[in-house]
Chains A and B, each alone.
Chain A
């Protein structure tokens, strides 16, 4: 040590407090990361996975802390932590492929790949809560360990503990999205742990600098949280990209107790994720159905499942129940490509008579004309549907005989305990309706004109359902969404003696283009919809649209020429965006995007999306030093009381560091100024500017009184001039490096000035 004349100075300045601080930082970080994992408990079964996550976090932070306490540099600790983390992963998960169970080999990479693929399959197969099988635990260990490494680098090596809040947020948020609720306990625990992380850095950074760095942190957190959320979402089991990006179709309709309630939930989920795309030869806008609900027992609508089914085969045509030859019919071909929908229900227009091109076993419900499967999934299916476009006239419907065939009689069943409100509304609305069609029209018009579309009111007021009670409240409140409108109209129609059922499916979606006689549409989760279908003898089942602002009213349900004569709903009514749900408006030609026909979309959309997100994150991470640098610059110039000489000087120091000028820790302001002047051969006016900033900084820091306050704008001009001149004096490469990878981000920010101890 005696020979090391260079090192004596630092060695003797006492690193003890900082070292202690780092230990407590490591501890606080561990607690923070573990706390942010709490919400995972909702989506992962058991508690064993906690141990795995804890081991992963400890494998990073403990060695890092040990190295630092032995006098290693902060960055060395991070490196050692990362290495031990990798080794622990190898030992725990792929020891067979490694030499002595610990030294990774080429086989290890393959083994890891296998594990990752297995994990992906496991995510795909499992539903929430997932069983923490080994591949998933591996993913968990990788994810939490990676976050621990990054947090350690940020909090200790870069002295920016505030940024760790970003990771905590990134780990907290995905489960919350998934479960749809905020885990307040987890949030509080994480927040407290985060405060400890900030506090543990106190010995080195005063509270003021912690505050200011957390202000920078807060900005960066806002920008990057989303990116990190998605990354962690892909890394942590339970949150495949699917679950974050799209509602899980299976959970909605396949297993749900109440299909309508599930649909409501899916509809309310924020964000519009693609479900499928189709193109059709029909010129009218078709609804696509997944399921019909025919039984109403007072509490909710359900599918009785009592209808005959036939296996689906290509080329076989089905008959449309109730349809007779007196109705104008047009045949259309609809090609569907599933892009995001999951489950065992096939979206088809009504009425469809044939489907071709499906993989797997599918069967028709011959009555509802829906297609479903007990064993296959709609995922990735591409199929062609032959559908009929029925265009009955209002007169035809009005003329339909009142007698109901036996097969349709069950569609009139209603429980006896009809609520008083419902009966009253029924009496009011249908009074004076001469025919069943008039009654149906009156009900539709009543709902369309007197009611408001709202997704929030039913939830807020507690009647978010489709049973008698909910509908009674809905009729009082006159506000709800498609589920309520469809259920209400179906109930009222049955009361009027019209066989009725509720269909679940999709609005026509967004028109994205047309070519070759086809019109292409894209359909997403926001297009989920439900509507009533009413039976008229001779025509069969015809859909109605009672929901205001959603979908379009069929032509036969518009022209009620008997008494009211109102014809205010234009034929080409398109969906208006309701207030609470961002429904994409299917506007006409303006929405046509060149080449955006559904067919042309890559089939590996999902993979591409994930790759894109990862790429964006990588780019984001690479650019984050530049972002931090620019935030610092903005913070300096945007200081509430104007930039001080200190800010101006710091900006010059940082810029000089970025541009590769030597900045020594022991420099006085004057030392640095003269070195810059010497090395960059500043022109006289820039040198004057530098002198002005220098003088202001020296006066601020060393003089008894401030004298005339430095003009913030003048300071900024001077700084800009100096930085410009400095930049001009270095090679282009240095300038690019300064812009993309500013070295000043890595320098320790000088802590805020400490108040001097009061002496005698």
Chain B
């Protein structure tokens, strides 16, 4: 944007200051640059992770082991300078290991709440599919409600609150893949994919010397992150774009190859994510192209193909991905006048 030069850093105060779109854009660029110095060759994944955080959603990273899912999640946590907790999910992890537990204080003779790792701004849930359904469910409930209730007392979670969960798609002994209904709680799901040869080489070189995470520090404060999220909420979405998002969602619902289409909640999340992406791109209004770019990450993990469409290939991911591309390219932006005078 043109007037970035006029951007001033004011002395930080306790009350989060409202940020202009330009300031948000500048901060977002800084976060992106920092993360990309760690996660080389994955600009899309970095951008999508930041988008989800700024949209106040939760992110599901799904890929084979060893491609840097955890690294991405941790880089994100480090960069935003918020409180980051990491939970390694295992089959024997109990719900109270996530949410926290009331402990009897012998001295004061009363129960005290000992908060679990979920009480953080960014919670990294590694290998969420290894946890028992009961534990998964506890996590997902608190993701949705943004609060934890233990022994009848409700504790609100931190603000901002983003869960970055990683999942291993390969069916393994003792894993419980998230059911469709649970996946719906994640705003977006992305795959990391293998790095390019160059990126892999440079990663090897750098990893020789030190852990790259040690080389980066937070570039925004938690207050600034909250302000950024607040600013995202006021990005303008024109009626044309709103209708466009709805058209796309409706197209998935009536699609003959889909057993389950996009839910209204997913449409809501699509538009919310598009706002964040617009700001990251330096726009103060959402373009249909922002929606386009988010359709696959936001809708992909919520749709279920019919078994007939799946046929023998069984590759549901590829099918749905292609199908969403078709929907996006076939849906025109409705001709609706901007609601201005």
Residues of A at the B interface (CB closer than 8 Å) are: 1-2, 5, 8-10, 12, 664-668, 670-671, 698-706, 750-756
The complex places the Cα of A138 from the Cα of B279 at a distance, in Å, of 69
Q: Please report which residues of chain B, range 240-288, place their CB below 8 angstroms from some CB of chain A when the two chains form the complex.
A: 240-241, 243, 251, 254-257, 284-288
Supply 15 A–B pairs (Cβ within 8 Å), ascending by A. Answer: A2-B308, A9-B251, A9-B330, A12-B251, A668-B292, A671-B289, A701-B338, A702-B240, A703-B236, A706-B340, A750-B335, A752-B335, A753-B336, A753-B338, A756-B337
CB-based contact A698/B330 at 8 Å: no
Q: Which of these binds chain A: B26-34, B189-197, B321-329?
A: B321-329
CB-based contact B336/A756 at 8 Å: yes
Q: Of all chain B residues, which has the CB nearest A751?
A: B335
Q: Does B339 belong to the interface (CB within 8 Å)?
A: yes
Output the least CB separation between B228 and chain A (Å).
Answer: 19
Q: Does B91 belong to the interface (CB within 8 Å)?
A: no
The complex places the Cα of A705 from the Cα of B288 at a distance, in Å, of 17
Q: Does B333 belong to the interface (CB within 8 Å)?
A: yes
Query: B338 to chain A: which residues have CB within 8 Å?
Result: 700-704, 753
Output the least CB separation between A688 and chain B (Å).
Answer: 15
Given A12-B254, A704-B236, A753-B336: A666 touches B331 (CB 8 Å cut-off): yes
The complex places the Cα of A704 from the Cα of B336 at a distance, in Å, of 13
Query: B16 to chain A: which residues have CB within 8 Å?
Result: none
CB-based contact B255/A702 at 8 Å: no
The complex places the Cα of A664 from the Cα of B333 at a distance, in Å, of 11
Output the least CB separation between B206 and chain A (Å).
Answer: 33
Query: B256 to chain A: which residues have CB within 8 Å?
Result: 1-2, 5, 8
Q: Does B239 belong to the interface (CB within 8 Å)?
A: yes
Q: Which 9 A-B pairs have the closest CB atoms?
A: A756-B239, A753-B337, A704-B236, A703-B285, A668-B288, A670-B289, A9-B330, A702-B238, A666-B330
Query: B286 to chain A: which residues have CB within 8 Å?
Result: 702
- B interface, how many residues as a size bin? 35 or more
Query: B335 to chain A: which residues have CB within 8 Å?
Result: 750-754
The complex places the Cα of A349 from the Cα of B106 at a distance, in Å, of 142
Q: Does B332 belong to the interface (CB within 8 Å)?
A: yes
The complex places the Cα of A671 from the Cα of B287 at a distance, in Å, of 11
Query: B240 to chain A: which residues have CB within 8 Å?
Result: 701-702, 753
CB-based contact A701/B238 at 8 Å: yes
Output the least CB separation between A9 and chain B (Å).
Answer: 4
Q: Please report which residues of chain B, range 141-180, place their CB below 8 angstroms from some CB of chain A when the two chains form the complex.
A: none
CB-based contact B289/A9 at 8 Å: no
The complex places the Cα of A756 from the Cα of B331 at a distance, in Å, of 18
Given A668-B333, A753-B335, A756-B337: A702 touches B288 (CB 8 Å cut-off): yes
Query: B243 to chain A: which residues have CB within 8 Å?
Result: 756
Q: Of all chain B residues, which has the CB nearest A703?
A: B285
Output the least CB separation between A408 and chain B (Å).
Answer: 86
A667, A699, A703, A750: most-surrounded residue (chain B CB, <10 A): A703
CB-based contact B331/A702 at 8 Å: no
Output the least CB separation between B3 and chain A (Å).
Answer: 12
Q: Of all chain B residues, which has the CB nearest A757?
A: B239
Q: Please report which residues of chain B, range 85-140, place their CB below 8 angstroms from some CB of chain A when the two chains form the complex.
A: none
The complex places the Cα of A9 from the Cα of B326 at a distance, in Å, of 9
Given A1-B256, A9-B327, A12-B254: A704 touches B289 (CB 8 Å cut-off): no
The complex places the Cα of A702 from the Cα of B257 at a distance, in Å, of 32
Output the least CB separation between B242 and chain A (Å).
Answer: 8
CB-based contact A9/B331 at 8 Å: yes
Q: Of all chain A residues, which has the CB nearest B253?
A: A12
Q: Which of B285, B287, B332 contacts A666 (CB 8 A)?
A: B332
Query: B287 to chain A: which residues have CB within 8 Å?
Result: 668, 670, 698, 702
CB-based contact A703/B336 at 8 Å: no
A9, A702, A704, A752: most-surrounded residue (chain B CB, <10 A): A702
The complex places the Cα of A32 from the Cα of B240 at a distance, in Å, of 37
Q: Of all chain A residues, which has the CB nearest B234?
A: A704
Query: B340 to chain A: which residues have CB within 8 Å?
Result: 704-706
CB-based contact B254/A756 at 8 Å: no
Query: A701 to chain B: which residues have CB within 8 Å?
Result: 238, 240, 338
Output the least CB separation between B126 and chain A (Å).
Answer: 37
